[in-house]
Amino acid sequence: RKEVEQDPGPFNVPEGATVAFNCTYSNSASQSFFWYRQDCRKEPKLLMSVYSSGNEDGRFTAQLNRASQYISLLIRDSKLSDSATYLCVVGYTGGFKTIFGAGTRLFVKA
């Protein structure tokens, strides 16, 4: 079993749709959680850090469920520019070990 697993993609949605991604992690020692966005052939860029209380940034909402060891990302009112790969990232206690999920590809269509 992979340490960080994400929904298999791709997700194909029309503009304006709401789409949700899930990510599960296996190590309960995980302390830090992030969503990164990666465009084709580009570097990952931080989308959101995920806090225990959940957090929202405009159209994006992230949730953390420690008991079930999963993280979610909700995108409302999808835009064409949201088309990208979304990477779930988990950081571990006591060091800088960082595990990336394989990513979920999102295609937003006009």
Partner 1 sequence: DAMVIQNPRYQVTQFGKPVTLSCSQTLNHNVMYWYQQKSSQAPKLLFHYYDKDFNNEADTPDNFQSRRPNTSFCFLDIRSPGLGDAAMYLCATSRDNPSWGALQETQYFGPGTRLLVL
| Contacts to partner 1 by CB under 8 A | 4, 31-32, 34, 41-46, 49, 87, 91, 93-103
Output the CA angle 57-59-65, nearest 5 degrees.
65
**Residue with tokens 């999102």, as numbered in its chain:** 106
Residue in this structure with the two tokens 């992979």, named with its chain if needed: 2
Residue placing its CB nearer to partner 1 in the complex, 5 or 13: 5
| Least Cβ distance, residue 101 to partner 1 (angstroms) | 6
Least Å distance between CB 18 and partner 1?
A: 25
Choose between 18 and 49: whose C-beta lies nearer to partner 1.
49
